[in-house]
Amino acid sequence: MKVFIKLVLFVFLSNNTFASKIDIDNATIRLMPASAKMTAGYFRLSNQDDKEKVLVSAKSDFFKHIEIHHSMKDGDVMKMVKKNSVSIPPKSELEFKPMGYHLMLMQPIGKILENEKIKITLIFASGESTDVQFVIRKMNHMKMSKMDMENDGQCSDMDMDGMKMDGMKMGGMMKNMKRPDFVFPAGVKGGKSMMAKKIMFGYKFGTMDMNCCRDSTNSVTESFIQGLGFTMTPVDMTMDMHMLSTMYAFNNKFTLMAMIPYIEKEMEMKKLTGMMAGKLHKTSSRGFGDLSITGLYKLSDRENLKVGLSIPTGEFNEKDHNMSGVLKTLPYPMQIGSGTYDLIFGYNYQKILDHWSYGFQINAVKRFDYNSEGWKYGDRRELSGWMSKPLSNNLSLSIGMDIEHKDNVKGRSANRNTMTPTWNEYFHSHLRVSSNIGLNYKMPSSMSRIGIQCGTPIYQDVDGPQMEPDFKCNIGFSSMM
């Protein structure tokens, strides 16, 4: 009898006192790949008592170590924080869910198999405890994305398993997000898809300086141009572009990007023959260029597909005064817009390794129709590749190479003349290889970034004579919210 009473007392006084007025439902353990050393437990706890309940720990025969964690946003970075207690006020509920509170279940002693049940004991500050049967389930990724998985902006991966979501891999990806080389070098057009509901604003300043002139792979002189029968030659040209862009991620796979450039061009011409031989004359044009609307589709963590439309919002009949003071249409390279609806295709790939990263992008513009002046710019294809190395937490250095191929102007403007090679439709195609160097800077504790990249051609094969760039630079600023 004494033994029996002792036993009863033991049962009632031990930690295993059943927690009163606590309901647990939806108790789920995330199914993990076999290699995983941890997983997460989720449930809904409702406290029907008049008193606050404080969850302080959990234990199980199946996991050697269990912690209470809370995932939270710190700036733009998702962090998991260990909690010593979680309080559930009287008559209220608390949901343990992905990207919120969860039980971090570590060091399983056996295999975690789908649909099996594992008992976990939840222990409260009062000494009460409750045994809960957790069911191991494959968790629906899409469902997860609907929860406020607003971690990082661009690392979304709906294919990632729970391990990556709640475990160590997550930390790895967060680290990538914080890397200065996470974004492409400033000279690489376009970007990657972002995390759902993220908005990004960007401003990029690009400048290019061009000299006269090149034909096939050689530099040519003014007398060569004169020898072809031209009475004028371009001498130099500068092009400055202020690119405004905004991106919005509808979901984790699809981001829409709108870009519009404000372009300023200046060209110096020289009269080669006649009365005014040797006279220099400057023309300029400026204005908003063509608006492009581009969809970025995330193929995988590393790859994006890009399809867009260029809308002819830019002027393609820019005029300026010629040497005789007459207002005339400027030649093809001085126009601001294309006057045509064009298709844009692209693909990019980026791999981030521990100490460096690399990537490449293919970009193509296909033009279909002629503009109302009777011509169109040539199609273009570009391949950009780069390697980046972080120099510090916030600064990275990149080297890269671009290969750019552009076709000749098609059709013929009614306003053209035969005095200068810039008006000749056959002197616009080129194959140009440039080498680039750049820096990316990520502002500490924010998602704002600055990048600069400059390059110079190392190989050119052109239909000419046409002007050739001696250098180009891009400075980009972006901020994500």
Strands (DSSP E) found in 336-429: 342-352, 357-367, 375-376, 380-390, 395-406, 410-411
Output 168 or 395, the one with its CB closest to Cu ion.
168
Output 170 or 243, the one with its CB closest to Cu ion.
170
150-158, 162-170, 268-276, 317-325 -> range binding Cu ion (CB under 5 A): 162-170
Cα–Cα distances in Å, from 426 out to 215, 380, 470?
11, 15, 22
**Length of the chain as a residue count:** 481
Strand partners, 100: none
Structure tokens at 373: 């002046």
Output 65 or 91, the one with its CB closest to Cu ion.
65
Q: To the nearest whole angstrom, how small is the minimum distance from the Cβ of residue 166 to Cu ion?
A: 5
Which residues within the stretch 69-108 sit at the binding site for Cu ion (CB under 5 A)? Answer: 69, 80, 104
DSSP state of 316: S
Output 166 or 382, the one with its CB closest to Cu ion.
166
Strand partners, 475: 205, 452
160-168, 179-187, 215-223, 380-388 -> range binding Cu ion (CB under 5 A): 160-168
Q: To the nearest whole angstrom, how small is the minimum distance from the Cβ of residue 170 to Cu ion?
A: 9
Helix and strand numbers, DSSP H then E, in the chain: 5, 27
Q: To the nearest whole angstrom, how small is the minimum distance from the Cβ of residue 480 to Cu ion?
A: 25
Least Cα distance to 438 among 354, 349, 365, 359 occurs for 359
Angle at 168 between CA 163 and CA 171, to 5 degrees: 120
Q: To the nearest whole angstrom, how small is the minimum distance from the Cβ of residue 125 to Cu ion?
A: 21
Q: Which SS3 state, helix, strand or coil, does residue 5 take? A: helix
DSSP state of 3: H
Q: Which SS3 state, helix, strand or coil, does residue 184 take? A: coil
Position closest to Cu ion via CB: 69
Give residue 381's Cα distance to chain centre.
21
1-9, 29-37, 114-122, 164-172 -> range binding Cu ion (CB under 5 A): 164-172
Q: Which residues contact 105 (CB under 8 A, 6 or more apart)?
A: 29, 38, 39, 40, 41, 60, 63, 66, 120
Output 8 or 147, the one with its CB closest to Cu ion.
147
Output 41 or 331, the one with its CB closest to Cu ion.
41
Strand partners, 241: 206, 263
Strands (DSSP E) found in 165-231: 199-216, 218-219
Q: To the nearest whole angstrom, how small is the minimum distance from the Cβ of residue 119 to Cu ion?
A: 20
Q: Which SS3 state, helix, strand or coil, does residue 338 take? A: coil
**Total of residues contacting Cu ion (CB under 5 A):** 4
Which residues within the stretch 130-149 sit at the binding site for Cu ion (CB under 5 A)? Answer: none
Q: To the nearest whole angstrom, how small is the minimum distance from the Cβ of residue 164 to Cu ion?
A: 12
Output 104 or 259, the one with its CB closest to Cu ion.
104
Q: To the nearest whole angstrom, how small is the minimum distance from the Cβ of residue 4 to Cu ion?
A: 44
Output 166 or 181, the one with its CB closest to Cu ion.
166
Give residue 186's Cα distance to chain centre.
12
Q: Which x/- pattern, by CB under 5 A, does the window 413-432 give for Cu ion? A: --------------------
End-to-end CA distance of the chain: 70
Q: Which SS3 state, helix, strand or coil, does residue 229 take? A: coil
Q: To the nearest whole angstrom, how small is the minimum distance from the Cβ of residue 306 to Cu ion?
A: 35
DSSP state of 373: T
Contact between 296 and Cu ion (CB under 5 A)?
no
Output 80 or 173, the one with its CB closest to Cu ion.
80
Q: To the nearest whole angstrom, how small is the minimum distance from the Cβ of residue 31 to Cu ion?
A: 16
Output 163 or 296, the one with its CB closest to Cu ion.
163
Q: To the nearest whole angstrom, how small is the minimum distance from the Cβ of residue 335 to Cu ion?
A: 57
Q: Under the rule (CB under 5 A), what is the footprint of Cu ion? A: 69, 80, 104, 166
